[in-house]
Structure 1
Amino acid sequence: MNDSLNAQLKDTVRYLGATLGETIEAELGSEWLQKIEQIRQDGRDSYAGETESTQRLTDLFASLDNRSLLTIGRAFAQFLNLANIAEQEFNSANQRDESLAVSLEKIKSLGADREKVLAAVKNLNIDLVLTAHPTEVTRRTLIHKHRQLASQLQELHTTNITEHNEKRVKTRIAGLISQAWHTEEIRSVRPTPVDEARWGFSVIETSLWEAVPEFLRELDEYLQSQFDISLPLDAKTVQFSSWMGGDRDGNPFVTSMVTEEVLRRARRRAAKLFSLDLDNLYIELSMNDCNEQLRELVGDAKEPYRAALKAVRNKLELTRDGQIPVEEWVASNDELLHPLMACYDSLHDCGMQVIAEGALKDTIRRVHSFGVNLLKLDIRQDSERHADVFSELTRYLGIGDYGQWSEEDKQAFLLRELSSKRPLIPHSWTPSDDVQEVLDTCRVIARHSKEGFGIYIISMASEASDVLAVQLLLKECGVTWPMPVAPLFETLDDLNNSPKVMRSLLDIDWYRGYISGRQYVMIGYSDSAKDAGSLAAGWAQYESQEALVQLSEEKDVTLTLFHGRGGTIGRGGLPAKAAIHSQPPGSLTGGFRVTEQGETIRYKFGMPQLAKRSLSIYAAAVVEAMLSPPPAPKETWRETIIKMAALGRDNYRGVVRSDPEFVPYFRVATPEQELGKLPLGSRPAKRNPQGGIESLRAIPWIFAWAQTRMVLPSWLGVMKAVEAVKNDGNDDVVKDMIDNWPFFNSRLSMLDMVFKKAEPHISAAYDARLVPDNLKHFGEGLRAELKQSIDSILRILDHTDMMEDDPHGRLSMDIRGGYLEPLHYLQIELLDRIRKEGSSEYSDNDIATLEMAMMVTITGIAIGLRNTG
């Protein structure tokens, strides 16, 4: 990135910060503005390493009352929000070299055969699954204001903007910043699963609805210009699924009633969006020439295109407003496609191709990408909940306890019942509430069209019977179509055992007939990394996928791997291209399905231009990986990574599992306990409320370490293992792996970014204030390994500083680093006060203010680090 563009981004951040300063001054006076400005300057200097500035921040915060600390926290959280908005708008406007056409031309220039390029592009199938994991810390009302702000920045940066328009835009920007400042940034209550789903719908409505047809239009234009063919109208190039309202694994608030409500709300939101599309088409399609097929459809109507759309337009409006019974709502994509395609074909037949290829074509594309259900809802449930149904049922029937049977006996029972024509569940049976809930969920699926669903995911799947059990439940509850069922392999043991489980399934004749040659398997990234560290987990995921690909080829089954990645390396997060190219060869044959989690949804898809860019990056990366698959690991690479993974696992577990001081240190050195008070998402922070660290979800586990800038789960034990194996006579092999193996290179590249975000001096400041003397040595040991790891990666990559290969990413972190610094020292002060809140010096109001300020700092730091969970 050139210096002028760097300067533009910095100037935008500076301008927005100054405007926020004016807002603060208008409310609190010039003295407060001067105080904020001094803190901002000290924050920049502290980030640059000036200890006097750090001490000034610490002393100032210690001298202020709780209400003042809250004000400072709010100011710097807002600064970071504005910096992120500036960067989003900047990326949207200035990174045009990542357009789909440019990326595909680069692929062609590598010498790929024309027909192979064409086949790869035509067979693109990208399924992005929006999830509501609680890493999105920003309220939806603020997200709306931020989106408006980004839009105004786009207009401000328009070439040759007039003086009048510039003044108007700047006034609007000042108004939006003031609105945000005077809005509570912390939710008063935890969002419900329905709230989360509505947030997902809004991403589609405000961004993806526009971005997807634009992306497909660009792809279509590329195919026409390069290959003289068009992208088929019904191409499933990109589609969207969701876990919001369907993911009940460990979330007691996702019930069958919630799933029902989310499905209905999605259909009404889709009806709203398609109504707007048809309103526009109704205005545009005023022509009277039509072909015979359309004339037969509409009779002697003078405006045949409007007549063809009228009935479905009215039905969409009634569906949108809920004015007719659910049974009469628009229920299938064909209800929309039939009149739309009749109009499209007629326009072509009558020489009006230019009209057909405009807004009408975009609407047809939207039907294929979103459909009348808006997106496909996945269902996820823990395997034990399914087993509990059959344990309770078999006891009631007097045939034993399913839970005590061997795997062989379970399979025999399930297969017998799957083939039986009589019902298994008696009408007279009254199951427990938990079992009833599982059955009710399956009955919700039965009541809705298969177009509204994606796949059924079984978490903690460890046996073939786990999959068969779900298929039997669906059958017994009235699901008449073969819903795809995907086992989720997420712990280290389950990943290693996954080929055996899938072979057992695919050896069953009935099962192979049921799946009709198509199998989904979900690979979990979060829990395996929490279990064994990021390097061992990464290699287990690779080996598992490699073996599953080989098995699917042997059994002649099309395998779709579903990647449950998070935003950080500790949860499998990698940039899109790196993630795709680090998979084993052959793993994209069945398409590409991946979760988009938490705040990454907004950063990738929150604005139409950003969403289009993200879709283009995904598409180009998948096409490139299909045409030029990553190499299978050489035997020397495999031997080396196996040693590294084993050492990394032992290093990680030696600290996290075996050291008795680890948990006490974690509890006091991070805001893990305070995180539970932040109403982030609908799921509890722990699977078991009475459990210890082992029951802590992967997201808050990583979130807590990010707050102190130790970011421990992403790196602990990794470079120590890499160095040990490298120094054992493997220098040349490791260099070869870095240069030629995307799987290994991408992990080091992500560690490079992680280490840029890590700040040992900030972690040390948390320890100095919050950790008792008898545990301080523990943090010192962790920071010693962190510093050694940073030195190690610089040496191995032959770099002098972090993120040398990503100057834009480094600039982004440097811009936000100065704003983050005060928030950390403020959080340390707040944590110290909160943990003393039992003393008489604090009133109830003081405690409430402290807790609010604490939540603001947690939010602000998460915003500043971006991929926090």
Structure 2
Amino acid sequence: MDDAVARIEAGPVTVTQTDYARGLRRELRELWRSVLARRAPQVLPSLSGELKGLPAEASITEYLQGLNIWFQLLRIIEENAATRARRMTEVETGPAGIEGSFARVMETTGDLAEEQFRATAQQLSVGPTLTAHPTEAKRATVLEIHRRIAHALAELESSRLTKRERDTLISGIECEIDLLWLTGELRLERPTPHDEIGWGLQFFRDSIFDAAVEVTGSYQDAVSQRFGNSEEVAPCFDFHSWIGGDRDGNPGVTVETTAAALKQARAAAIERHQQDLIRATQHLSISSTISHLPDPVRESLQTVIDAAPLPEDAPRRNPGEYFRQALSAITRRIVATGTGEGPAYPHVRTYIAELRKVEAALEAIGAAKLARRMIRPLRWQAEIFGFRTFMLDVRQNSSVTTQVISEIWGEGAPEYGTPEWTQRLRSEIGMAELPALDIDALGPQAQELIALLALMYQTRLGADPRAIGPFILSMTRSSDDLLGVYLLARYAGFGSEKLDLKVVPLFETIGDLRAAPQILTELLRVPLARRSLDDGNHRIEIMLGYSDSNKDGGYLTSSWELGKAQRSIKQALADFRLTPSFFHGRGGSVSRGGAPTERAIAAQPRGTVNGQLRTTEQGEVISAKFSNRPTAQHELERLASSVLAQSLDGRRIPMVPEFIDTFEALSGISQTTYQELLRRPGFIDYFQQSSPVEELAKLKMGSRPTRRFGAKSLEDLRAIPWVFAWSQNRHLITGWYGIGTAISEFRRIQNNDELLLRMFEKSRIFRLIVDEVEKSLFHADLDIGAQYATLVADPAVRDDIFGRIRKEYDASREAIMFLNGGTPIGERFPMMSATFGRVQADLARVHDLQIRLLHDYRDRPGRDILVPLMQTMNCISTALGWTG
């Protein structure tokens, strides 16, 4: 289930709230109909249900465009209703009544000593990480229109609106719907990496800058309410981004791209600081002739003023208004930091320190409330976003780093994977001085990688060293892969004793997850790596991939192996007195780790959160969570409070041995069942022909090249199009396949139904898996899937593969209903069912149309039907709420 639906599932919904959402749907549907009546009256009868079936072929494009706009409006309405429900709950019961709030966590933690809380809060760090994975089908312009509609809907809730004001707002919403029509949802050109950089930064400008500070305030209020004092908590957010830094599989991301991403992110942060400083300066009109400033206060402010003196010929403004003068001086330094000219801040710490001086000065004259309202939010913003907006991570594949090392070593270099390679790597990395490197003699790939590492080194020396994040190595298969990055960093100028570079392994496949503890053990036995990885807090960051492990073994096996890997990594690092900080590479769909935030974090193995967690926010998940401020605020608080709650939960006990044994048995059966399907003769043909996976490359969703879509073998299948395609044809096997056989075989062999039912009741991770499988089964529709199967040319392949999928689907439904007490699939999640029910009939017609268009496009590729075919893909992904 995607997070948009998860938000709606959270908490009870009263009749009043349900009526509100129903009325909103009715009102927006009339506005939508009004637009269609002007723009495409010929399709209105079909879209309104007055005529059954599809309109004439000449009107298909307009029909799909109108339907997709309605699907988009439904999502906005649901989000608005969820925001309103939270506000009503807070009015009626206080902030502790809201699921996922800091207030709820502080109220429900039982006998929590303040010392224990402070120890946990001191290390609390939550790292949402925006990525540019090609799973967002909507254009940035369309997302901006969505944001304006959501804002207008929120304004309509005011009871003080006059009829004229209300009519004006409604007319504005109709204009925005008209703009959706006139804009169109399809990208005409594939976005460049530079386009994606701007797209990602816009979410910070629109919502995240404000939301993160607001959530920090909610955190402070909850702590003060619990412990009865105002001792400040530190902001807990540590935003990262991959946009402009992730070059794995995307040759369009270059050193120049990464430098541009750093520059634009720095400019966005400084621009925001400047705007807020100007606003604060305008407000703080405190005169020393009215409010006496003690000498220490005046002297403290004077040091701030003197650090950025006015030019000699500039008139002195605001005489006697030391606070305005100090804030004006800070503003001058911020401007200079952006331009590189004038009294720039040498380090972000200096900026924060000067804000603290102003804050302390206000408190000293009895204006603590002013300090909290006007200055503390600026300081929190500086502490969260610095001069960077986010930390820009760099990601590259281990195959590239290995190739570059081979090239540097030149003729006679040992073969990768041999003892000779390992020996030379360790020998060279330990040298006091490396052999001279002739950069100009290297090929483009090697030059690019060395230049990238040099850029990372130079950025670490700048005014905000946290502008650059770690080097994430995808497809980490050995300790040699990680050591290779450190060797290349030394060639790029990082030094020799301790490198100011964190190399983060990304363990993706099931085999790599199982090998992770041994890989890390071997790595930490190398002194240079040990010194460089330990940042003084005795923590090491480890990234876990959800997509490829799912593709390897299916949902149940992937979920279990990820939990096992965390426990085994934690144990392995304990031998070195180190603690892992896990970075979860989740996507939006169930198949890629998507799940309700609180439950997903609560289901992590005991002792593996410990106050710190990073998670990717990918593609359409970014727009679902961060398009507007109220939703962004709720999502960020829900994430951070869940990490806090899990870290404070001392009641968790280790998983009981019989549960572990049962999980191992279920996982083994499920993986075998899943892999048997993937290895069936003709499976690749079935996948390519029964889904629009090849045609998905035509959707201009991301800057990655189209070769990441489509496949000639299992190894070629990429996780994102893999999930996207199975969603489009409504098989959704990536979210459930294998669990039916696993449960039925376990019941047959072990004859212990009571154990499975007890696991369903007591094990958080098993309950989460079962619930998410049920949601996947609910969204799957094998009657529609059977129609897609008719696209497969070979009837023997079609009957064999689809027959196995149908059999496993029936077994999985039976297994879930055994565990949930016989409740029909989806009935335990009424809001999800209701939400999907509103699009189900229209969605079935879109599937019919897509199948017909696929037949025609493949039979006669020259026909001009590509646009409506791509529109069907957008419609299906919008209705389901996810792409990949």
TM-score, reference length from structure 2: 0.90
Q: Quick one: which amino acid aligns to residue 341 of structure 1?
A: R
> Do the aligned partners of residues 80 and 426 (structure 1) sit closer, same or farther apart at CA in structure 2, a change above 3 Å counting?
same
Q: Kindly provide the amino acid, as one letter, of the partner of residue 489 in structure 1.
A: F
Q: Aligned to 1:560, what secondary structure does the other structure show?
A: strand
Q: Write the letter of the residue equivalent to 2:323.
A: Y
Q: Which of 521, 534, 555 is the equivalent residue of 1:503? A: 521
Distance 2:275 2:843 in 1: 42
Q: 1:33 aligns with which of 38, 44, 49?
A: 44
Q: Which residue of 2 aligns with 1:482?
A: 500
Partner-residue secondary structure (3-state), 2:109: helix
Alignment partner, residue 47 of structure 1: none
Alpha-carbon deviations, 1:132-186, whole Å to 9, x = none? 1111111100101100000111111233533222111111111111111111211
Helix, strand or coil for the counterpart of 1:454? strand
* Preserved contact between residue 390 and residue 402 of structure 1 (Cα < 8 Å): no
How many Å separate the matches in 1 of 2:471 and 2:240?
12
Q: Is the 8 A contact 2:693 2:710 kept in 1?
A: no
How far residue 554 of structure 1 moved from its aligned partner, in angstroms, is: 2.4
Match of 2:821 among 798, 813, 827: 798
The one-character-per-residue Cα deviations of 1:655-713 (angstroms, maximum 9, x if unpaired) are: 01x10121111111111111011011111354598854431210110001101111111
Q: Which moved more, 1:612-621 or 1:284-293?
A: 284-293
- The question of 1:6 aligning with 2:18 is answered yes
Counterparts of 2:707 and 2:566 in 1: how far apart (Å)?
29
Structure 2 counterparts to residues 761-772 of structure 1, below 5 A:
761-768=783-790
- Cα deviation digits, residues 331-367 of structure 1 (max 9, x gap): 6322421332221111111211111101311111111
* Aligned residue type for 2:767: N
Does the C-alpha gap of structure 1 residues 690 and 803 become closer, same or farther in structure 2, counting only changes over 3 Å? closer
Instruction: Look up the match of 2:676.
Output: 654
Residue in structure 2 matching 1:394, options 406, 409, 420? 409
Q: Secondary structure at the match of 1:523?
A: strand
Is the contact between residue 43 and residue 63 of structure 2 (CA under 8 Å) also seen in structure 1?
no
Superposed counterparts of 1:519-530, under 5 Å: 519-530=540-551
Aligned residue type for 2:867? M
1:565 aligns with 2:586: yes
Q: 2:326 aligns with which of 285, 308, 311?
A: 308
SS at match of 2:694: helix
CA shift, 1:776, in A, is 3.6
Distance of aligned partners of 1:32 and 1:807 in 2 relative to their CA distance in 1, 3 Å threshold: closer
Please give the residue correspondences for 1:50-89 in structure 2 after superposition, counting only pairs within 5 Å.
56-57=52-53, 60=54, 64-65=56-57, 67-89=58-80
Whole-Å separation in 2 of the counterparts to 1:590 and 1:479: 30
Aligned partners of 1:248 and 1:519: how far apart in 2? 23
User: How far is 1:241 from its partner?
Assistant: 0.2
Q: How is 1:473-622 mapped onto 2 (pairs within 5 angstroms)?
A: 473-479=488-494, 482-516=500-534, 517-589=538-610, 591-622=612-643
Which deviates further from its counterpart, 216-225 or 426-435? 426-435
CA-CA distance at 1:117 after TM superposition: 4.0
State the alpha-carbon separation in 1 of the partners of residues 587 and 659 from structure 2. Answer: 27
| Equivalent residue number for residue 841 of structure 1 | none
Alignment deviations for residues 107-147 of structure 1 (CA, whole Å, 9 cap, x no partner) = 235x5555434543443211111111111111100101100
The residue type equivalent to 2:760 in the other structure is: I
Alpha-carbon contact 2:555-2:591 (below 8 Å) kept? yes
Contact 1:631–1:741 (CA under 8 A) maintained in structure 2:
no
Residue 749 of structure 1: aligned partner: 771
For residue 237 of structure 1, report the CA deviation from its aligned partner: 0.8
Moved more, 700-709 or 807-816: 807-816
Distance 1:386 1:375 in 2: 25
Identity of aligned residues (%): 27
Shift of 1:324: 5.0
1:462-514 deviation digits (Å, cap 9, x = unpaired): 11121121122223212365221111111111111111111112233443233
Matches within 5 A, 1:699-738: 699-728=720-749, 729-738=751-760
For residues 638 and 828 of structure 2, what CA distance do their matches in structure 1 show? 18
What letter corresponds to residue 100 of structure 1 in structure 2?
S
> Shift in Å at residue 317 of structure 1?
4.0
1:248 corresponds to which residue?
247
Contact 2:190 2:701 in 1 (8 A): yes
- In the alignment, does 2:873 pair up with 1:858? yes
SS of the residue corresponding to residue 596 of structure 1 reads strand
Q: Identify if the C-alpha distance between structure 1 residues 440 and 156 changes in structure 2 by more than 3 Å, giving closer, same or farther.
A: same
Q: Could you say what secondary structure the match of 1:588 adopts?
A: coil
Q: Displacement, 1:785?
A: 2.1
Amino acid corresponding to residue 804 of structure 1 in structure 2: E
Structure-2 change in CA distance of 1:313 and 1:547 (3 Å): same
What is the CA–CA distance in structure 2 between the aligned matches of 1:458 and 1:867, rounded to whole Å? Answer: 27
Q: Could you list the runs of 5+ residues in structure 2 that have no partner in the other structure?
A: 1-12, 90-97, 307-315
Offset at 1:330?
Answer: 5.9
Q: Which amino acid aligns with 1:746?
A: L
Are 2:611 and 2:643, in contact at CA under 8 Å, matched by a contact in 1? no
C-alpha spacing 1:659/1:819, structure 2 compared with 1 (3 Å): same
1:53 counterpart residue number: none
Structure 2 vs 1, CA of residues 237 and 15 (structure 1 numbering), >3 Å: closer, same or farther? Answer: same
- Which residue in the other structure is 1:16 paired with? 28
Q: Is the 8 A contact 2:76 2:150 kept in 1?
A: yes
- Maintained 8 Å contact 1:685/1:700: no
Listed as ranges, the matches of 1:309-324 within 5 Å are: 309-317=327-335, 324=340
1:824 maps to which residue?
Answer: 847
Task: String of CA shifts for 1:544-599, please: whole Å, max 9, x gaps.
Answer: 11011112222111311111111122112221112112211111126111111111
Q: What residue is the counterpart of 1:107 in the other structure?
A: 108
- With 475-484 and 708-717 compared, the bigger mean Cα shift is at 475-484
Alpha carbons of structure 1 residues 462 and 775: separation in structure 2 relative to 1, 3 Å: closer
Report the Cα distance in structure 2 between the residues aligned to 1:716 and 1:395, rounded to whole angstroms: 47
Is the CA contact 2:255–2:448 (under 8 Å) kept in the aligned structure 1? Answer: yes
Per-residue deviation at 1:606? 2.0
Contact 2:479 2:522 in 1 (8 A): yes
Three-state SS of the structure 1 residue aligned to 2:189 is coil
CA contact under 8 A between 2:611 and 2:644: conserved in structure 1? Answer: no
TM-score normalised by length of structure 1? 0.91
- 2:689 paired with 1:674: no
Partner Cα separation in structure 2 for residue 266 and residue 190 of structure 1: 22
Is residue 2:177 matched to residue 1:177? yes
TM superposition shift of 1:14: 2.8
> What RMSD over aligned residues (CA atoms) do the two structures have, in Å?
2.3
Larger mean Cα displacement after TM superposition, 741-750 or 763-772: 763-772
